[in-house]
Amino acid sequence: MNNVDISRIIEMAWEDRTPFEAIHGLYGLTEPETIKLMRQQLTSRSFKNWRQRVSGRKTKHLALRSDEIDRGYCPTQYKHSRGK
């Protein structure tokens, strides 16, 4: 896995509305494998903050999500560069 993929996985793991299943679908990493990657790539403090944030968060698991949530990210999440 290259640095760009690792960076994107970390970004997806931090996002509230991106379920672990989306990471698995795009990169083939299961939730435990994503947790392991996060542990390896983040500082211990950042990892603890992340685990506390995602533990029990319904939006991180498709089976626990409300049917009203039909997207994996917030529409304002991605910043598009505008040509000058």
Q: How does pLDDT run across 46-70, given as a tens digit for each residue?
A: 999 999 988 877 666 565 555 554 5
Half-sphere exposure of 63 (CA within 13 A, CB side): 1
Distance CA 49, CA 58 (A): 17
Lookup result for tokens 């403090």:
45
Residue ranges of alpha helices (H) inside the chain are: 3-14, 20-27, 31-41, 44-54
Contact of 18 with 61, CB cutoff 8 Å: no
Work out the pLDDT band at 83, boundaries 50, 70, 90: very low
Distance of CA 24 to the CA centre of its chain: 10
Region 77-82 average pLDDT: 46
pTM: 0.70
